[in-house]
Structure 1
Amino acid sequence: MFGGLVRYLDSVVARDPAPRSRWEVLLYPGVWALFWHKIAHRLFNARLYFLARVVNHFSRFMTAIDIHPGATIGRNFFIDHGFTVIGETAVIGDNVTIYQCVTLGGTNPTNGKAGKRHPTLEDNVIVGSGAQILGPITVGRRARIGASAVVTEDVPEGATMIGLKARSTLVAAETWAKEFMPYGTPCKEPCEPVGGTQRIDELETEVARLREQVEGLAAERRPAERVGPTACKGS
């Protein structure tokens, strides 16, 4: 048990450049939220639902992280900071990293029956801060969800999803590095699609064209104003 704790703390240190030692990691709210969830999940599986909820609410009060007792979580799960919500039927694989203010939320089943309502995150997924992953979808292995993205459809293995509604960056999955990448996306990647910049360029071109037209009309008007008084004197 102690060896497993050490391996978990080392996995967090490997993904977070902030801590100087394992002792610091022991103060992380995400670590304590996972500890309390393990207890709540065992109570939930034993059908002690009320006690499971008591532990869940205590954990949420202490850590600002709400993990439903029914959620299934793999090894080395790391929540960096807090304010995260994970639903009852969510399934999280091994070595998954989630940053702050993420929701693994459910959707209303169309058949009216409770079932798989929350996402499945496969191994080595990274979810950026503020992302919302909704519904019984699957996020493939090594996929990366950008900050504030909204994901409502399955994500292919190794893909990077950005935007509202999230869409693939169309970068081939095999081109990405296989090792862990802090914060989900490389710093050189644009956080917004190029379409926004292109639209600004188009508007600037339009303004320049209109300015040229105004200046041309003004230039045509000046000679007419000068000729007018002279013609009157000659008459």
Structure 2
Amino acid sequence: MKKLVLSDIDNYLMLSRGEHYSANMFKRLITMISPRMLPVLFVRISTSNLPIINRIFSIINVMLFGIEVNSQCQIGRGLFLPHTSGTVIGAREIGDNCTIFQGVTLGAKNLDFSNADDKRPVIGNNVTIGAGAKVLGGISIGNNVKIGANTVVTKSIPDGKTVIGSKATIIGSGDDE
């Protein structure tokens, strides 16, 4: 877990200060307590193999930062959460160097208390998910994908694509019960 946390901090510092920024351990420790990194640290603990500890930190993360995370989600190196409020991380897997903005939901389309792998998304490497986006169902998001703000994704996206928007469909009148 230490290597994952250090890679998260280094990714944050690189994104916020530039590619050539190098951090010593003191700068990393100071960064770890920032409001952008502390929730990531709590996500790491919430997805650890420490059964009671992971639940406690999951609850703390919801209360302090508004992040709900599935303890079974596998998350790669360099996770970055620039803003956290209202974020739900219910994916099966998230790759390396992913940026997830506030209000994002990654999870099943329907209630899924069993955490079934075939009902939860898999997110590739170097993916950016914009504020308010929803990625739902047992789909795959390829590497180097950008998902725009408020985009609803229910179908797999191949590598290197950018997706935006949501398509509303009328399924009945307001009088239907």
TM-score, normalised with respect to structure 1: 0.58
131, 135, 138: which one aligns with 2:137:
135
Partners of 2:70 and 2:3 in 1: CA distance:
27
Deviation at 1:139, TM superposition (A): 0.6
- Name which of 154, 160, 163 aligns with 1:161: 163
Match for 1:146: what amino acid?
G
Distance between the aligned counterparts of 2:66 and 2:120, measured in 1?
A: 20
Q: Does 1:39 align with 2:40?
A: no
* Map 1:108-127 → 2, pairs under 5 A: 108=110, 115-116=116-117, 117-127=119-129
TM-score (norm 2): 0.75
Q: Taking every aligned residue pair, what percent have the same amino acid on both sides?
A: 31
Between structures 1 and 2, the one with greater helix share: 1
List gaps (5 residues or longer) in structure 2.
169-177
Total equivalences in the alignment? 159
Return the offset for 1:17: 5.7
- Change over 3 Å in CA distance of 1:140–1:77 after alignment to 2: same
In structure 1, the gaps of 5 or more residues are 167-235
Which amino acid in 2 is paired with 1:10?
A: D
Identify which of 83, 86, 89 aligns with 1:86: 89
Alignment RMSD: 3.1
Larger Rg: 1
SS at the partner of 2:159? coil
Larger mean CA deviation between 8-17 and 89-98 belongs to 8-17
For residues 15-54 of structure 1, what are the structure 2 equivalents within 5 Å?
A: 15-16=15-16, 22=27, 25-43=31-49, 48=51, 51-54=53-56
Residues 20-51 of structure 1, C-alpha deviations (whole Å, 9 max, x = no match)? 9856643444422222232232236xxx3x55
Q: Which structure ranks higher in relative contact order (CA pairs < 8 Å, sequence separation ≥ 6)? A: 2
